[in-house]
Amino acid sequence: MKKLLSVFLVLVLMAAALVGCSKAPSQPAASGADAEEIKIGINYELSGGVAAYGQANLEGIELAVEQINAAGGVDGKMIKLVTYDNKSDHAEATTLANRMMTQDGVLAAIGPATSGAFKATIPVAEKNEVPVVSGSATADDVTVDDKGLKEYAFRICFNDSYQGTAMADFAMNTLGAKNAVIIMDSSSDYGKGLAKNFKEQFERNGGKVVAEESYVEKDTEFNAILTKIKGEDFDVIFIPGYYEEAGLIIKQARAQGIDTPILGADGFDSPDLLELAGADALNDVYFSNHYSSLDQDPVVLKFIEDFKAKYGKDPNAFHALGYDAMKFVADAVGRAANLDGPSVKDALASTENFVGVTGSFSIDENHNPVKSIVVIGLKDGVQDSITRSGE
C-alpha cells in the first residue's frame, strides 16, 4: 500500500513538473506593452547575511512607488512591484531574475544590493533584454568589464575607485595631509580596490604613502601594527574596509594616543561603528558616503520628512539609494519610446541631470552615474559635518 502511494506521489510530482514546463513559455509575451500597469521586478536580499541592505533598499523603493502612484503613476499607468527575496544568495538571485523576466514579465528590475549578486543577474538581463538597475553595487566592474559594456546593467551609485580617489583628494585638499598610512582589509576586493585608488591619487597629488599595513576579516588585534606605524611620520590614516574591523582599529589607535584624522569609505556607514569604537574615539573620523541626513538640500529634506512619516525612523544611505533607483527607473519609463526592454534601456542610458536624494547625476557611456560624493565627518560618534566633492 505504502509503495503504491509513493509511486502515485511520484507520478503526481512528474505531472506537476510537466505542467509547469509547458506553462512557462506561454507567459512572457504579456510584457508591460499593453498592460494597464507597469511591472517592476524587485530582487533584493530580504533575508540572510546582508539583509539589512536589501530591506533598507526596499523600504526606499516602496516609498518612491507610493509617491509616484499617488501622483498619477507614469503616463497614467500605475507601478506594480513584483517582490522577491534572493536570501543573500547569488544563485537564488539569478533564478529569481529569470523568473521575473520570463514568467512575471517585468519591464525592468531593481536589485540586488551587493555587487556580486547584481553581477550574477546581468547575463539573464542581457538574454531577456530587460534592464536591471542597482542602487548600491559599487564594485568597479559591475557595468563594464574586459568584455565591454553590459548593455542592460545600470547603477546609480559611484564605484569603489571613485571613492578611493575622492578620499585622497579630501585628505589632501581639505585636511592638508602630506603623508598617509593605509591599513587595508586585504581579504576583500572592496578594501584592495579602495587602497589602490587612494594611493594612486594621493601620490599623483604629490603626497606620500609612508606605510601600508593589512589585516584580514575578523581580526581583533591591531595594537602591533598600530605601534609600528606610530613611529612613522604621517598626518592621516586611511582604512579601506568594513565597520567591523575599522571600529576596532579606530578604538585601539585612539587608545594608543594616535590622534591624526582617520578616513574611510561607505563601509563605515553602520550604527555598529559607534558601538565598536566608542564615542570618544570617533573624533576626526571622515568617510565617503552616498547621502547624509545632515544635507540641507530641499530634495533631501523632503525625502527625510516623507520617510519619517511613513516609517517613523531616519533614513540611511541604502534607503536613499533604493528611493533614487525607483525614481530613476520611473523617470526613464516615462521617457521611453515604447514600453519594452530595449526602449527603457535607451531611456535609462540617456538620463541627464536626474535630481535624486543622493545627488543629481547623468548617466555616462559606461552606465555609471556622474555624481558628487558626500564626505561625512564624525564628532563624538555622531555625524557633525558634510563636505560635497567631485561633482
Question: Contact with another protein (CB under 8 A): which of 126, 244, 297, 346?
Answer: 244
Question: Contact with another protein (CB under 8 A): which of 6, 220, 338, 350?
Answer: 220
Instruction: Tell the smallest beta-carbon distance from residue 223 to another protein (Å).
Output: 4
d(CA 270, CA 252): 19
Backbone Cα Rg of the chain: 23
Contacts (CB under 8 A) with another protein, residues 4-33: none
CB 228 within 8 A of CB 252: no
Task: Decide: is 227 part of the binding site for another protein (CB under 8 A).
Answer: yes
Nearer to another protein, 229 or 333 (CB): 229
Residues contacting residue 15 through CB under 8 Å, at least 6 positions apart? none
Contacts (CB under 8 A) with another protein, residues 279-298: 279-280
Question: Contact with another protein (CB under 8 A): which of 47, 103, 188, 214?
Answer: 214
Binding-site size, another protein (CB under 8 A): 28
Question: Contact with another protein (CB under 8 A): which of 36, 75, 203, 221?
Answer: 221
Helices (H), the chain: 2-23, 51-70, 90-102, 115-128, 160-169, 189-204, 223-230, 243-255, 271-277, 298-311, 317-335, 341-349
Per-residue x/- track, 150-189, another protein (CB under 8 A):
------------------------------------x---
Task: Decide: is 248 part of the binding site for another protein (CB under 8 A).
Answer: yes
Nearer to another protein, 175 or 211 (CB): 211
d(CA 264, CA 246): 8
Number of C-beta neighbours around residue 360 at 10 A = 17
Instruction: Tell the smallest beta-carbon distance from residue 202 to another protein (Å).
Output: 21
d(CA 280, CA 44): 36
For strands 285-289 and 373-379, give the pairing.
antiparallel
Distance of CA 214 to the CA centre of its chain: 25
Task: Decide: is 380 part of the binding site for another protein (CB under 8 A).
Answer: no
Nearer to another protein, 106 or 276 (CB): 276
d(CA 157, CA 140): 11
Helix, strand, coil percent values for the chain (each to nearest 5):
45, 20, 35
Contacts (CB under 8 A) with another protein, residues 249-278: 251, 255-257, 272, 275-276, 278
d(CA 237, CA 333): 44
Nearer to another protein, 257 or 298 (CB): 257
DSSP count for the chain of H helices, then E strands: 12, 16
Question: Contact with another protein (CB under 8 A): which of 6, 27, 223, 350?
Answer: 223
Per-residue x/- track, 109-138, another protein (CB under 8 A):
------------------------------
Question: Contact with another protein (CB under 8 A): which of 32, 73, 135, 247?
Answer: 247
Nearer to another protein, 42 or 225 (CB): 225
Instruction: Tell the smallest beta-carbon distance from residue 62 to another protein (Å).
Output: 25
- The β-bridge partners of 144 are 149
Which positions lie near another protein, rule CB under 8 A? 186, 213-216, 218, 220-221, 223-225, 227-228, 230-231, 244, 247-248, 251, 255-257, 272, 275-276, 278-280
